[in-house]
Amino acid sequence: MVLLLSVRTAPAADQAAQAPAAPATAAKAEAGKAASAKPAAANVPATTPAALAKPSPAKPPAAGTLPLGRSPYRRLAPWIMQTVDPMRSLGETVSYHDVVEVLAADPNLAWAKDTSFHHDVWTLEFKFKPVRMIWVDEPTVGGKMQRKQIWYMVYSVTNPGKVFHPVEDKELGYATSQKKLLYRVVEEDRPVRFLPEFVLDAYQRLSGGLVSDKRYPDRVIPVAMAAIRMREDPNRHFLNSVQMCRQIGVGQTLWGIATWEDIDLATYKFSVVVSGLTNAYRWQDKPGAYKVGDPPLTGRTFSSRMLKLNFWRPADKYHAREEEIRYGQPGGVDYEWVYR
């Protein structure tokens, strides 16, 4: 016990005197001291002007510097964006009508009866998120802010090209007095101009089993656009319905937001009617409406092909929440193409 105690309490100087370090051992010890001194020196605050300068703020990565396969936009699950089948048809490129302006003057002109009219038809690809809700503070006419619930829908449109273009091919294989021609339809890639309009058709139950309907056109609400963008994807550039009025190149995709306000919360089902996704149309003349001397197109009505998205809301008019909105309607279809 006495021997162990003397070893533990022996001064470092006495130990050095009793067992002097070899030259090689001393050199290793000095090297160890130098190595251990480096981290300590790094911890000492620098006094140079460069070290005292404030660090510059972090900058976003420049275009093209993201890792391969990475996108700056928020990734969405495959089922989030609903895809609409364009349901294109070659029959939309032709229609048959009497030229009533000519027949009103001479009903015996055969070439003016059941005449074919051909035109190009294009259709955009459309994807969307089901309707959602957000609260925003909106300025009023008097300059005060008013808290409002905004209904909105995020969507994207893509120009796939492939415009249907009728081309005169050859004459019929038999003689006709009108020299009618056969047409074939070819596909051409060309830019198209998108002029969108979003109308929300809402239906409310009334007493006695009656149903009323109201129409809400899309509104441009700048304060709502900023809030929706921060919620959906801060890195993506969204366009409102006015900004979206532009030409879309082949293969180009644009993202937009449609917004509505002051929706009657008694609405239990509604539809969003989207126009401008195609230039397909129909027209018809009301029999006997055109008279000799009337301006052209008198009695003629046109209807455009539009997309109708159906939703229902199994809830009451109190504390409306977006979780109550369902895509599709019981006993009906999720979407349909209509002429109106």
More confident residue, 246 or 53: 246
**pLDDT for 37 beyond 70:** no
Distance CA 259, CA 223 (A): 11
Mean pLDDT estimate for the chain? 82
> Which tokens go with 185?
């339809």
Residue 174 has what pLDDT? 61
The CA-based angle 263-265-269, given to 5 degrees, is 90
The tokens of 308 are what? 């109708």
Q: Please, are residues 90 and 165 in contact by the beta-carbon 8 Å criterion?
A: no
283 DSSP β-pair partners: 302
- List the structure tokens of 188: 């051409």
Q: Region 79-91: what's the mean pLDDT? A: 93
Give me the pLDDT at residue 277, please.
98
% of the chain residues with pLDDT over 70: 75
Regarding predicted confidence, which is higher, 52 or 312? 312
Domain boundaries, the chain: 93-339
Return all residues near 334 (Cβ < 8 A) that are at least 6 apart: 82, 309, 310, 327, 328
Residue 257's SS3 state is strand
CA 241 – CA 198 distance, rounded (Å)? 8
Instruction: Report the pLDDT value the prediction gives residue 302, as an integer from 0 to 100.
Output: 95
Q: How many helices (H) and strands (E) does the chain have?
A: 6, 18
- Please, which pLDDT band fits residue 104 given cuts at 50, 70 and 90? very high
Confidence of residue 281 (pLDDT cuts 50, 70, 90): very high
Tell me the C-alpha distance between 250 and 278, whole Å: 15
pLDDT tens column, 232-246: 999 999 999 999 999
Q: Does 16 have pLDDT greater than 90?
A: no
Angle (CA) 21 26 31, round 5°: 155
- Residue 175: the pLDDT is 61
Where residue 131 falls (left for φ over 0; alpha for ψ -120 to 50; beta otherwise) is beta
